[in-house]
Structure 1
């Protein structure tokens, strides 16, 4: 099979007929692109979430208003693209699902099915846009027939073995390289299906993850993430005007950035490409001439020590205290056992003789997940054997780089830069790729700017 890549286009790249046409131009200009995944048009997922919320609250008129706005937007795009009569009929069928009653008693399952409409509509429209630009055979496929997950609605986990088996026929068709016009597949990011056929989602921003999973399952040679920024930057350019594009970074560095809040990549994206050793490019749909950022297993040894600053908001600090911890075995295991039962993932942990402090990311709890404060059953279990205190409205700041736990003076330089700030928790030493701080959300951007100025804008002088 010839070399091919999987390309994913985000919501802004699907946001209008002109944006879709520009994205289609990128695909048609590169014969290596044989499999394309798209997100819902920008803003649609948020509107669908509102519809679900209003349905549950019984606000029929407001729900209808959001549905009509979504319908109007997608019909306008379809007309502007000059979609075929068949495509218009399919779009009409998708739009009817917005007005349907709740499809089952499990509201999270209903939400996942509703959210899938966004990706199905955008991928249908993009297929039409691509057919007008490309001489290749363009085939629309339903991701739910290939990407198989568990039934944890809102944040489903993929079944790698079943997904790969389902993708075998696609891989065979990708082997059939037609001389002039190879087949190009268009599908949806973010969505999959359980083994029973129920629609599932991979969590907010999961389209990147879908691209990596399909690339692994199809044995692709690369993944392209097309977005509205020209690559991965040293910090969010909306916060720091002097943020710089990172030309190349390692899987480990990119994983740290995604995990600690960089919006360009979904945190789970790197696992499949790391397993399959598939490089990733992050590029701008609106500046396809720029090289973007390449993510590969290793980077040159001359890479800067500190690469980026990331901020992740909506963090909750849970402090669990009990005198039973003194000289006791298994106390930490008991805490983590409770958290695992409620699918809560811990990021930072510090301990003393009688207490454990740990952070939970509120945004990592799925499209229908409760907040930590609302998880009353989980908190009751913890309180059955310890005192529990919650602190909300915190942010996690990560300094990301290489060899941070072994380079002399790095920690001192970082701590000196924020010496006047109130830091709630520090995590250093567990990874050579990050030093993390937990701070009040109202102080987070000021601290992050200070760190970017000292650690990245001003060159470090060793010795």
Structure 2
């Protein structure tokens, strides 16, 4: 049976947009300004997730208490501004007591599952507070536990959503509430089949908003953050960077994957599956406009943006003996697969393969990826070289492999920089170069000046 539901918007607010009472009030005003917003997804308040992650690492009791006191003070500053703080204050105090209990447990025995349960409290607290801010503006708002809908596997720390289960749960439990009132829920968190709390990885609140929009066939997803859209590059690197008013899904997806910080890399996948536009704007300056990401952009420019990803590791593996190239590559990638090492970019020759690894995606950097067990197994097949302190600079555009002048234009600007690896041709939308981290900002400035200004 097909239902024709009225169009609605999912609005997601990042940590800076709910950092304190004033930020929450601005975000509430944004929600109320558009009657089509029926579902609000929140991150934890700025700084809270970092505190919770530190608590999950099991610090000694004095440090642990200091962090819990800091966390309590952050929430109390918001609660103290509420007109009727009693009810929500008691509930948040209960959650903070639970944080203290879990942090003490983490000090005795750490686990990924315990970490997920602990860090989930940031979103639970911010969403409870935001409901009260909305109610103060005479709005009928309901709090909803996202874990009832966001079903995932049990890969704690970076859980994989079960899309069909989410669709069924959202239709049965979330949509009826949205028809009665404005619903406020949490990003980043979910639950596995056993009911244990899971998380989607850092920055996963954008992903939650997109998953719920897909499940409920929303008309748009609004991502409210601290920047007015997506820029040609990070304005902190290039002051002349300009906002891009419209991006295609393919362009924005490449930008997110290759280091642009505005969107979580997985955010666009659910939106693309249902062709749901995604708007990115600044909650503290909504009148400044933003960027709309959608399926089709008429006559997009050849060169669109530059992205930088730091903390990159180059792993070069060279065969120890003469053997057919296909066998060497099969052996190497078989080992990498068994050790679940995520490979980002690859270049190969007959006897060696160079792999670019993204340490920012690992919980504790390079050590998390290149385990002793992995290196031991690889060493029986090849000579290993590991190079750290690198950055990946990527040019995003359209039909780049088919553009005769692209390499000439890029390498003319990079002539003075010590490029380690080049990846070009696999993607229509990106050309990537790996170089020492200290050279990244200079390379971005040179390329931006030449190609994007």
- Measured against the shorter chain, the TM-score band is over 0.9
2:320, 2:381 within 8 Å by CA — same for their partners in 1?
A: no
Deviation at 1:291, TM superposition (A): 2.5
The 1:61–1:411 alpha-carbon spacing in structure 2 relative to 1, beyond 3 Å, is same
Aligned pairs for 1:194-233 within 5 A: 194-233=192-231
The equivalent of 2:56 in structure 1 is 52
The 1:18–1:308 alpha-carbon spacing in structure 2 relative to 1, beyond 3 Å, is same
2:39, 2:178 within 8 Å by CA — same for their partners in 1?
A: no
Cα distance between partner residues in 2 of 1:140 and 1:275:
28
Cα distance between partner residues in 2 of 1:208 and 1:340:
28
The equivalent of 1:33 in structure 2 is 37
Cα distance between partner residues in 1 of 2:176 and 2:382:
58
Q: Which piece of structure 1 moves more, 249-258 or 442-451?
A: 442-451
Cα distance between partner residues in 2 of 1:79 and 1:358:
52
Consecutive unaligned residues in structure 2, runs of 5 or more: none
Cα distance between partner residues in 1 of 2:322 and 2:95:
55
Aligned pairs for 1:148-187 within 5 A: 148-170=151-173, 172-173=175-176, 176=179, 183-187=181-185
The SS at the match of 2:287 is coil
TM-score, with normalisation over the residues of structure 2?
A: 0.95
Aligned partner (choices 280, 283, 286) of residue 285 of structure 1 = 283
Structure 2 residue 426 is matched with structure 1 residue 430: yes
| Cα displacement string for residues 159-214 of structure 1 (whole angstroms, at most 9, x for unaligned residues) | 112111211224541673xxxxx511111111111111111111111111111111
Cα distance between partner residues in 1 of 2:50 and 2:392:
24
The equivalent of 1:460 in structure 2 is none
Deviation at 1:410, TM superposition (A): 1.7
The equivalent of 1:15 in structure 2 is 19
The 1:373–1:297 alpha-carbon spacing in structure 2 relative to 1, beyond 3 Å, is closer
The equivalent of 1:355 in structure 2 is 352
Deviation at 1:389, TM superposition (A): 1.4
The equivalent of 2:142 in structure 1 is 139
Aligned pairs for 1:351-430 within 5 A: 351-365=348-362, 367=363, 371-372=367-368, 375-430=371-426
1:191, 1:202 within 8 Å by CA — same for their partners in 2?
A: yes
The equivalent of 1:256 in structure 2 is 254
Deviation at 1:221, TM superposition (A): 1.1
The SS at the match of 2:286 is coil
1:280, 1:296 within 8 Å by CA — same for their partners in 2?
A: yes
Consecutive unaligned residues in structure 1, runs of 5 or more: 177-181, 458-463
1:227, 1:282 within 8 Å by CA — same for their partners in 2?
A: yes
Cα distance between partner residues in 1 of 2:21 and 2:46:
12
Cα distance between partner residues in 2 of 1:337 and 1:248:
41
The equivalent of 1:72 in structure 2 is 73
Length, aligned pairs only:
446
| Cα displacement string for residues 99-154 of structure 1 (whole angstroms, at most 9, x for unaligned residues) | 1032795511111111101111111111111112253x211011111101111111
The 1:174–1:252 alpha-carbon spacing in structure 2 relative to 1, beyond 3 Å, is farther
The equivalent of 1:3 in structure 2 is 7
Aligned partner (choices 311, 316, 320) of residue 317 of structure 2 = 320
1:404, 1:434 within 8 Å by CA — same for their partners in 2?
A: yes
Structure 2 residue 437 is matched with structure 1 residue 441: yes
The equivalent of 1:346 in structure 2 is 343
TM-score, with normalisation over the residues of structure 1?
A: 0.93
2:41, 2:185 within 8 Å by CA — same for their partners in 1?
A: yes
2:206, 2:263 within 8 Å by CA — same for their partners in 1?
A: yes
Cα distance between partner residues in 1 of 2:65 and 2:269:
40
1:71, 1:95 within 8 Å by CA — same for their partners in 2?
A: yes
| Cα displacement string for residues 343-387 of structure 1 (whole angstroms, at most 9, x for unaligned residues) | 32211111111100011111112x467635652222222223222
Cα distance between partner residues in 2 of 1:377 and 1:383:
10
1:154, 1:369 within 8 Å by CA — same for their partners in 2?
A: no
The SS at the match of 1:289 is helix
The 1:440–1:31 alpha-carbon spacing in structure 2 relative to 1, beyond 3 Å, is same
The 1:165–1:218 alpha-carbon spacing in structure 2 relative to 1, beyond 3 Å, is same
Cα distance between partner residues in 1 of 2:41 and 2:334:
37
The 1:405–1:62 alpha-carbon spacing in structure 2 relative to 1, beyond 3 Å, is same
| Cα displacement string for residues 207-248 of structure 1 (whole angstroms, at most 9, x for unaligned residues) | 111111111111111101000000000011111111100000
Cα distance between partner residues in 2 of 1:175 and 1:73:
30
2:341, 2:369 within 8 Å by CA — same for their partners in 1?
A: no
Deviation at 1:307, TM superposition (A): 0.5
